[in-house]
């Protein structure tokens, strides 16, 4: 079988598979089949429940096939099954395809069943590399995602401004100790009111912020850093925003102030580099070298508690929160116009917590545009 005879196949839920939503335009809670035949023609197979919506929402050029029409479409017997396995076998016979390219996330059990029936499945990674370069329309959708995140941050700032510092050393709001969970709920509710979905919002107070992905729990202490990382998804488009700020209710300690200034400067340097540099590793190394020059020691691995700067400078943003390209030492592909990346240096020390600042940048042929408007400051009085 020559490679030209291979088709491409996806079976997943549009809400969970960014490649599927990108290729078909249809987001569903349940799995459905997308295919591209050996001539580049695309189609989806959906249930009656989703058929009408699929006709309206699928991208131009994507044929919508109802499962109820599958047997007549491919001249199958009445006993033929319309299970996922049956759909793919029918499609393969109808199109004359015996080999399919599938993503590495293709369901294992389904793959085994198809291979037992004589089909060849070849994993393809990345399955949809074109997603990394955004169109002008996609950049506007990402800008809307950033605005959602900024609305959530504004609500957090409002809560902190309305709060007071009690003698017990904690932040109080509306007569009670402010909890990280309460602040997160206020952020997420604001995003929901504006048509977004907030999943995994981080409000990590004090020393909890030393773990970059610690969501945060318990009372918010005064005079200590509070890492707020918001990455909502626009409900209508599926595209994300991403934004991190670190705030202190009260007066920050001198080590925290110095670290904040270093992170802010590192971010400025990375943003300036992206105006002309198209090597992700170079941008990342610039941040690494700057922190080292400022005396910030980084340690991790070999059983050590991580400290310093031990994550990527940034990552791609789109239908997924983390996607290609990465701003890190492992990225080998050049940065291109249309790439949208986060720029989020940070410093983390278990003694006092963490500092992270994150903006979203769209790369263009003549430089880059920062899609983020939220101001950068530390103390909330």
Q: Which CATH superfamily includes the segment(s) 3-127?
A: Creatinase/prolidase N-terminal domain (3.40.350.10)
Q: What is the pLDDT of residue 200?
A: 96
Q: What is the pLDDT of residue 2?
A: 40
With a pLDDT cut of 90, the percent of the chain lying above it is 92
Distances (CA, A) of 248 to 33, 37, 76, 201: 49, 56, 67, 18
pLDDT digits (tens, 9 = 90+) for 14-51: 999 999 999 999 999 999 999 999 999 999 999 999 99
Interatomic CA distance for residues 195 and 48, integer angstroms: 27
Q: Which residues of the chain have pLDDT under 50?
A: 1-4
Whose tokens are 């020559």? That residue is 2
Instruction: Look up the pTM and report it.
Output: 0.94
Distances (CA, A) of 14 to 142, 145, 240, 325: 18, 19, 15, 22
Q: What is the pLDDT of residue 78?
A: 64
Interatomic CA distance for residues 376 and 268, integer angstroms: 11
Class in CATH terms, 132-380: alpha beta
With a pLDDT cut of 70, the percent of the chain lying above it is 97
Q: What is the pLDDT of residue 77?
A: 62
Signed CA dihedral, 85, 91, 97, 100: sign only:
negative
Whose tokens are 């990394």? That residue is 132
Q: What is the pLDDT of residue 76?
A: 64
The count of C-alpha atoms lying within 13 angstroms of the C-alpha of 162, restricted to the half-sphere facing its C-beta, is: 13
Residue 291 near residue 298 (C-beta atoms within 8 A): yes
Q: What is the pLDDT of residue 5?
A: 72
User: Domains of the chain: which residue ranges?
Assistant: 3-127, 132-380
DSSP conformational letter for 126: S
Q: What is the pLDDT of residue 1?
A: 36
Q: What is the pLDDT of residue 3?
A: 44
**CA nearest neighbour of 247 among 153, 170, 314:** 153
């Amino acid at each position: 079988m020559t490679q030209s005879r291979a088709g491409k196949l996806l079976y997943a839920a549009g809400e969970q598979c960014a490649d599927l939503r990108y290729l078909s335009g249809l987001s569903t809670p349940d799995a459905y089949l997308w295919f591209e035949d050996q001539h580049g023609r695309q189609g989806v197979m959906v249930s009656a429940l989703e058929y009408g919506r699929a006709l309206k929402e699928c991208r131009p050029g994507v044929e919508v096939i109802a499962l109820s029409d599958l047997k007549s479409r491919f001249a199958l017997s009445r006993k033929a099954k319309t299970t996922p396995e049956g759909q793919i076998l029918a499609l393969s016979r109808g199109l004359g395809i015996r080999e399919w390219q599938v993503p590495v996330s293709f369901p294992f059990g389904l793959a085994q069943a198809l291979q037992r029936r004589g089909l060849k499945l070849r994993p393809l990674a990345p399955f949809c590399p074109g997603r990394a370069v955004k169109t002008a329309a996609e950049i506007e959708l990402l800008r809307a995602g950033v605005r959602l995140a900024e609305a959530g941050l504004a609500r957090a700032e409002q809560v902190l401004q309305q709060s007071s510092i009690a003698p017990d050393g904690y932040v109080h709001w509306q007569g009670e100790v402010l909890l990280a969970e309460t602040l997160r709920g206020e952020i997420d509710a604001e995003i929901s009111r504006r048509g977004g979905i907030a999943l995994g919002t981080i409000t990590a107070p004090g020393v909890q912020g030393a773990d970059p992905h610690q969501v945060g729990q318990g009372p918010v202490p005064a005079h200590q850093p509070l890492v707020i990382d918001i990455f909502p998804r626009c409900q209508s488009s599926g595209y994300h925003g991403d934004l991190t700020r670190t705030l202190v209710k009260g007066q920050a300690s001198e080590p925290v102030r110095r670290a904040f200034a270093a992170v802010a400067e590192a971010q400025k340097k990375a943003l300036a580099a992206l105006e002309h540099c198209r090597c992700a590793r170079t941008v990342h190394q610039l941040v690494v070298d700057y922190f080292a020059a400022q005396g910030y020691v980084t340690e991790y691995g070999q059983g050590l508690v991580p400290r310093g700067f031990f994550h990527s400078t940034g990552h791609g943003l789109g239908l997924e929160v983390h996607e290609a390209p990465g701003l890190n030492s492992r990225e080998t592909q050049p940065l291109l116009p249309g790439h949208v990346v986060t720029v989020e240096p940070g410093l983390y020390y278990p003694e006092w917590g963490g500092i992270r600042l994150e903006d979203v940048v769209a790369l263009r042929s003549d430089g880059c545009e920062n899609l983020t408007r939220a101001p950068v400051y530390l103390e909330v009085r």
